[in-house]
Amino acid sequence: MYRLSGTLKGHEQDVKSVVAVDNDIIASGSRDSTLRVWTRGDKWSTTDPIIAYHAEGIKFINAVSYLDTHRVLASAGQEGIVYLTDISTIGTEQEPSAALIGHSMNICSLTYNQDTLVSSSWDGTAIVWDLESSSPRHTLTGHEGSVWDAIALGNDEYLTCSADRSIRRWSGSKQIATYLGHTDVVRKLLILPGGSKFASCSNDGSIIIWDLNHGVQIKKLLGHESFIYDLASLPNGDIVSAGEDRTVRIWSTDDASSAVQAITLPSVSVWCVDTLPNGDIVAGGSDKVLRVFTSNPSRYAEVSEIQQLSDDVKGSTIAEQTMNELKRTDIPGYDALTRPGKQEGSTIMVKNPTGVIEAHQWSSGEWVKIGDVVGSGGGSGSGSGSKVEYLGQQYDFVFDVDIEDGAPPLKLPYNANDNPYEAADKFLSENELPASYKDEVVNFIMKNTEGIELGGNNNTAISSSAPSNDPYSDSYQRKKQQTSSLKVIPQLGYVFFNEYKADQLIRGLTKLNSEQGPELQLTEIELSNASESLKALTSKKALALITDVVPKIMQWTESSRLIGYDILRVSVQKVTTVDILQSTTAAEVISSSISSGLSNISETTLPLFMMLLKLLSNLVGTTLLFQLYFTSNEGGKAEFSEDFVKLLQSLADIVGNTLTTVRTHKHFTATTSALSTFILNMSVLQLKNSTLTSTMAGPMVDFTNSVGPLLAEASSESAYRLVIGYANYQYAKVAFDAPWLGTVKSLYVDKSVESRFVDVLQDIKGMQK
């Protein structure tokens, strides 16, 4: 079993990435903006390491890799630039030997294998680098969210994973396969020995082992209790993982589905992990420390150092809301520690003789204390009636919310009887943050206040079984009315078209503005303000673009108006409900823009139709959609307005009269995919909206059946999103005959087997029994 070998202290903020150069050299990157190199003599040095590179200001480093065939360290982070540092010059105060420029946002990962360096970024792309020319060889574009990791497979093939929950395989820059199975952000990929299998980890707390060539899941490893951030492979093929539950876990490559060892660290997050050639493990986390673990007794740390780690872990405090199924009235005493744990890494709560609740973890055949359980939920406040003062007011909780790497956490005050959606909206508006963060903030609140009763009154925080009046509440997920045998349904994540390159959009806006007559041009001030807004698109700036800039663009010539819809597409996702409710014109601008755009769609204006569909997809789930296309019936339930029914009819007419006749158009596939995405997102809304009954979905059912035959044939991707939408409606008990389903089965199962279609069709069959 693994024990501590060395404790490496020197970083001043979170350690975000680590790579083992060899058995005696480790490199790490941190939020403190430094790349540091650590060396081992007789033992690992605990003195300050060599600072190999220091990025000034807040340009933190959170991706590090070692190019062994070049003897070069690669590092990257917030600046969006990959720096290469010759390892032989480390300690000589030399500047990096090269800078690779191509990403427009924070770089999430760097991997070097198959003699190939690949980077991935929040800008929604991965780049395969030509190191001879220091320029991109391929830019992999297609994910609908941040690309969290990318790796080379050899033979000019690559794998990427993303916040859009998908894993994609590429040949050169062309996507050739998609692997779907995770239900949340996919964070890391790992090719397993032999090259025919790979592993992925996710915010959903699972590790999935995949058959690379057939795209099927081989098995799922469960045990982590929160997000899993990183994966590494031991020389014997075993897998090592690290995550938000403070643990590093080791998984055997045999048929076991539970960890063989779980190592708990005294940090909130274990961000990164790597393995050394000798089989040792190094991990770094939010406590600024790197720790090396070994299974070789000759490399064990001093007994005092090992004991110090144990004491640090035992002295940790754990928020009770992060512990699964905690019930204060049912907590046993120390006698529970005489019974073995169910599996390695499992945790239980016990009450010590003084009444303090402790968390213990089953590790290497014994229960080990990993901290005292407190009611703070990760912020201030006890969850037992005490109040916390913030800006002169009393709150049950004041959370630290880590929105952006490299930036200090923001304060989120919250009372247990608050609506979490309203609290999230207020928080985002006050801090000038995009509305697209809303779901994450709400999930954070609900996780960290779950089941808490405060102040001896009847105000209870929202729990997984509590009702909610919010239009986005996930009623169907809470009911769990379907069996656990379903593989991919329900799909509860929206697919948004919200990535954009600010510089490219600004250049287009400037050029088109110059082509308009003087009376229609944006003034220099308006153009400058619009450009600055697009560079850092906050809620208020997005609202200003919608209400002040877009109306003027909509008066431009027909060929120039496309950019107005592009600006609307990216803006509607950024505006918070608080800001929307303060505006009387935003909904009117969007409504009139959509109506006028749909009034003149032809083959020559197909790109405009594609952009309108992306805009509609991005509207789903926002307050703007409810303002535009919903009304309330006499029973107080939400239902589609007449305007929405007319919108669907306009879309169906365009599909029937125009889209069916332009199948060879270069934008045909992208347009049909956008249309399927709109249907998919509306099905997700049906699941998330507790006020939408199954009978009220009729207009969407009729519309989907109208356009379904074309989408089923158009492309594999449009067909898959269409089928997922249909399956979601089935899950929501919506009556739906789907006559085009046979076409999907014929094209993508009978003639060309794609496992993703097989899985969802099996789920549909299971729900219909």
Q: Where do the structural domains in the chain lie, given as residue ranges?
A: 3-314, 317-374, 388-466, 497-600
Given a contact cutoff of 8 angstroms between Cβ atoms, the answer to whether 675 and 612 are in contact is: no
**Widest CA span in the chain:** 83
- Retrieve residue 483's tokens: 């069996």
Say how far apart CA 10 and CA 20 lie, in whole Å: 17
Q: Which stretches of 464-549 are DSSP H helices?
A: 475-479, 502-514, 524-535, 539-544
pLDDT of residue 539: 83
CATH of span 3-314: 2.130.10.10
- Element spanning 564, H or E: helix 562-571
Q: How far does the chain reach from its first CA to its final CA, in angstroms? A: 48
pLDDT of residue 314: 81
Say how far apart CA 151 and CA 128 lie, in whole Å: 9
Q: Which amino acid is at 731?
A: Y
Say how far apart CA 434 and CA 436 lie, in whole Å: 5
pLDDT of residue 382: 34
| Pairing mode of beta strands 317-319, 366-374 | parallel
pLDDT of residue 432: 63
CATH of span 388-466: 3.10.20.870
Query: Which residues, 6 or more positions from 365, have their beta carbon under 8 angstroms from its beta carbon?
Result: 340
Instruction: Count the residues in the chain.
Output: 769
- Phi, psi values for residue 740, rounded to 5°: -85, -5
- Retrieve residue 545's tokens: 């673009």
Please write down the long-range contacts of 134-139, taking CB distance under 8 Å and 24 or more positions apart. 134/98, 134/99, 134/100, 135/100, 135/102, 136/102, 138/170, 138/172, 138/173, 139/102, 139/173
* 3-class SS of residue 134: coil
Task: With a cut of 50, list the residues of the chain below it in pLDDT.
Answer: 321-328, 376-385, 405-406, 450-484
**Residue 378: left (phi > 0), alpha (psi -120 to 50), or beta?**
left
User: Which is nearest to 614 in space by CA: 700, 724, 502, 496?
Assistant: 496
Say how far apart CA 294 and CA 226 lie, in whole Å: 25
| Pairing mode of beta strands 157-162, 147-154 | antiparallel
Please write down the long-range contacts of 622-628, taking CB distance under 8 Å and 24 or more positions apart. 622/435, 622/572, 622/573, 622/575, 622/580, 623/577, 623/580, 623/581, 624/572, 624/575, 624/580, 624/586, 624/587, 624/590, 625/685, 626/471, 627/580, 627/587, 628/587, 628/590, 628/591
* 3-class SS of residue 464: coil
**Residue 124: left (phi > 0), alpha (psi -120 to 50), or beta?**
left
Q: Which amino acid is at 557?
A: T
pLDDT of residue 330: 65
- The answer, yes or no, to whether the previous bond of 490 is cis (omega within 30 of 0) is yes
Please tell me the number of Cα atoms within 13 Å of 512 on its side-chain side: 19
Q: Which amino acid is at 665?
A: H
pLDDT of residue 190: 97
Please write down the long-range contacts of 125-128, taking CB distance under 8 Å and 24 or more positions apart. 126/150, 126/158, 126/160, 127/100, 127/102, 127/103, 128/152, 128/158
> What strand order describes the sheet that includes 197-202?
186-191, 197-202, 206-211, 217-222
pLDDT of residue 451: 35
Burial of 183 (0-12, 13-18, 19+ CB in 10 A): middle
pLDDT of residue 464: 26
How open is the CA angle 509-669-603, to the nearest 5 degrees? 65
**Residue 208: left (phi > 0), alpha (psi -120 to 50), or beta?**
beta
* 3-class SS of residue 392: coil
Chain position carrying tokens 């744990």: 341
Query: Which residues, 6 or more positions from 429, have their beta carbon under 8 angstroms from its beta carbon?
Result: 539, 576, 578, 579
Given a contact cutoff of 8 angstroms between Cβ atoms, the answer to whether 598 and 612 are in contact is: yes
Task: Give pLDDT tens digits for 193-227.
Answer: 999 999 999 988 899 999 999 999 999 999 898 88
User: Which is nearest to 655 in space by CA: 613, 594, 617, 715?
Assistant: 613
* 3-class SS of residue 226: coil
Separation of CA 452 from chain center: 27
Separation of CA 3 from chain center: 33
User: Which is nearest to 582 in space by CA: 632, 543, 621, 526?
Assistant: 543
Given a contact cutoff of 8 angstroms between Cβ atoms, the answer to whether 398 and 383 are in contact is: no
